Amino acid sequence: MAEWWRGSVTYQVYPRSFQDSDGDGIGDLAGITARLPHLAALGVDAVWLSPIFKSPMADMGYDVSDYMDVDPLFGDLAAFDAMVARAHELGLKVIIDQVISHSSDQHPFFRESRVSRDNARSDWYVWADGKPDGSPPNNWLSVFGGSAWEWDSRRRQYYLHNFLPSQPDLNFHNPAVQDWALSVLRFWLERGVDGFRLDTVNYYFHDTELRSNGPMPQKENRPPVNPYDMQDHLYSKSRPENPGWLERMRALTDEYPDRTMVGEVGDAPWRNVAIMAEYTQPGRLHMTYSFDMLGPEFTAAHFREKIEGFFQGAPEGWPMWAFSNHDVIRHATRWAEHGAADAVVKLAAAMLLSFEGSVCLYQGEEAGQVETDIDFDELTDPPGIRFWPDYKGRDGCRTPMVWDVSEHGGFSDVKPWLPVKPPQLARNLAAQEGVPGSVLEFYREMLAFRRMHPALRLGRTRFFEVPEPVLAFARGDALACVFNLSPRPVVLTVEGVLTEGAPCHAAHLEAGRLVLGPNGFAFLDADGGLSVSAG
């Protein structure tokens, strides 16, 4: 079991949308437990749960009011324990979100902190005086729009919130806050979780001098939709105190065998790799979760740059790659213009599951699920409501799992919290079960292939020099992975033979010439050598 996480595949569950077991239109822990056999049959190693803690749900659980209890929407601690036990019976690890950089303003600690400047928890959050003219302490902005500072009339001070005003930032410069956060992690480790996904892992510390951020260089003449993207957040996150705190969390986690920590890192593109390298040095995080493949870019050069860049910049580190999650447009929709729908989805799965590092799949992508078109009156996501219509928020990727073709997709017997619409019903899992060539069966095939080939989990990567639109690389010494990222056929000259039993699509090899049709891909074994070049 040593380092089970290295090269593993984790499946992200968004609990509100996975399975409703009690008829309230919202997913819950009992529903997740009932559906765990699907994940075991799919062939993943671990399941990551987005937050299930007590919360006012202003940001759908990423605003926690009690870190050591389950929100009644999802069940209770007994339901959580039953879910963990069932997952372990099925051979699945369980990773849970930890959102400790900020809490809900309904948390008892913040309620106490805001009462006065001299109470027991007055320094547990980030408070600062306004400027003489009453304006905020500096120019820091919130990810969700507007100033990152909110005035509190009781203390006659501002408090920091990197997200919603109802999500005040905890003050990790205070050692007592760190000690409390460690007690939260220990609570869940004692309950048997196998690891943590640490939300906004580079946001724990802020600049104590409260220096203003500078501008972010812009590629376009018109401003971005969200002014947050106009700032270089040098002083409001990714501060030099952060690695020391990561070492404290790692030391605690290491008290428990076979546990892991993966941190969500989001910063300026030119700093991301350096931060990921710093945060995954020995004694810190096991892995960092990358945002680098969650955007619109779909070129061989882009994927190569991100993989090479990470391992060159962080030779002792380990990444976790993903194409979709609960915060971005589903990749089946983002990359739809690059070929036929199912072909692009299968190509993406084959690529992702061939990359060096660990992998995270997002619920529904094994069905080829596409982004849901959400109307304004259906929105629940605060930034979507604020920045409509240029940014429609994150609800479109958070709609319920579609298990079958029934009215609500088998997710619930009642109208769910977000709608299930016909394009999503058309990609229900029951219709793909056991169907050769379906997206679901392809994911199972590709996951089994990754498990059977240690090179895909742990082999080092060597890229072949081939032009766009082909991405080609060797994993280890004897396996080549070749992908055509376009809807046009390409011809390559290769040494090697098609790997027996390997997934492939639109691939034909004869006399050293590999023809890949639209979005075609193939895996090759060495045959006295291993090379790929332009045809």
Where in the sequence numbering do the catalytic residues fall? Answer: 199, 255
Rounded to 10 degrees, what is the CA torsion of 31, 35, 39, 41?
170
Q: How many CA atoms lie within 13 A of 332 on its CB side?
A: 24
Instruction: Give the DSSP letter of residue 292.
Output: T
Cα separation, 43 vs 90, in Å, equals 11
DSSP letters spanning 454-481 = HHHHH--EEE----TTEEEEEETTTEEE
Q: What are the CA-CA distances from residue 186 to residues 194, 207, 334 (Å)? A: 12, 28, 39
Radius of gyration (C-alpha) of the chain in whole angstroms? 23
Rounded to 10 degrees, what is the CA torsion of 499, 501, 504, 507?
60
DSSP letters spanning 381-434 = -HHHHHHTTT---SGGGTSPP--SSSTTTTS-SS--SS---HHHHTT-STTTTT
Q: Which residues touch 45 (CB under 8 Å, ≥6 apart)?
A: 4, 8, 9, 10, 92, 93
Cα separation, 63 vs 144, in Å, equals 13
Q: How many CA atoms lie within 13 A of 128 on its CB side?
A: 25
Rounded to 10 degrees, what is the CA torsion of 466, 471, 473, 478?
-100
Cα separation, 180 vs 185, in Å, equals 9
Give yes or no for a contact between 347 and 521, defined as CB atoms under 8 angstroms apart: yes
- Diameter over CA atoms, the chain: 80
Give yes or no for a contact between 347 and 469, defined as CB atoms under 8 angstroms apart: no
Give yes or no for a contact between 63 and 97, defined as CB atoms under 8 angstroms apart: no
Q: Which long-range contacts (CB under 8 A, 24 or more apart) does 440-446 make?
A: 440/366, 440/367, 442/346, 442/349, 442/503, 443/42, 443/43, 443/349, 443/361, 443/365, 443/366, 444/41, 444/42, 444/43, 445/503, 446/349, 446/350, 446/353, 446/503
473 closest CA partner among 311, 274, 300: 300
Cα separation, 263 vs 284, in Å, equals 10
Cα separation, 395 vs 438, in Å, equals 26
Please give the backbone phi and psi of residue 380, each rounded to the nearest 5 degrees, phi first: -125, -15
